[in-house]
Amino acid sequence: MLIRFNKPYGVLSQFTPEGRWTGLADHIDLPGVYVAGRLDADSEGLLLLTSDGQEQARIADPRFKMEKTYLVQVEGIVTDQALTALARGVSLKDGPTLPARARAVAPPAELWSRNPPIRERQSIPTSWLELSIREGRNRQIRRMTAAVGLPTLRLIRTAIGPYNLDGLPSGTWQKITP
């Protein structure tokens, strides 16, 4: 069994709550499914869960390099220079990243509101980019955008390999065919 879940902001990638964050049990009441990969509590979007250990490893294990795609709202204006740096790979404290696919995109028209909303500063514009990576280091997207001078304000994973969020409202899940 494979499930796609549109994880809201503030929900951990585990069934039990911790501190101020809620757990998956508040949204998914299915025994025997396990998270395939992680998504930080302050990130939103696609999370896959499965009852198949081999499928879980294939999705989550960095050795398989399954591409993950994100919509990222950043503080500042996305420049060609920033996109080129992201596409080539950027240097982080734990070493250089692999090259990424990066492009500036228009603000998403069909996006759910976030609770709480992102911080907004009247003097600093925001913009959006789509970023696809094949590795999954801790807070990697946020660190990559910061490295090119574009702090992340909102991070939404839209796809993992062939699986995507299309038409799935925030906080809901659906069984899919692997």
Catalytic residues: 40
End-to-end, the C-alpha distance of the chain in Å comes to 8
Beta partners for 95? 92
What is the residue type of 67? Answer: E
Integer angstrom CA distances of residue 154 from 72, 115, 162: 6, 11, 23
- Is-contact 94 137, C-beta < 8 A? yes
> Residue 128 in 3-state DSSP?
strand
**24-27 — which CB contacts under 8 Å span 24+ positions?**
24/49, 27/171, 27/172, 27/173
- Is-contact 54 43, C-beta < 8 A? no
Give the separation between CA 95 and CA 114, rounded to whole angstroms: 32
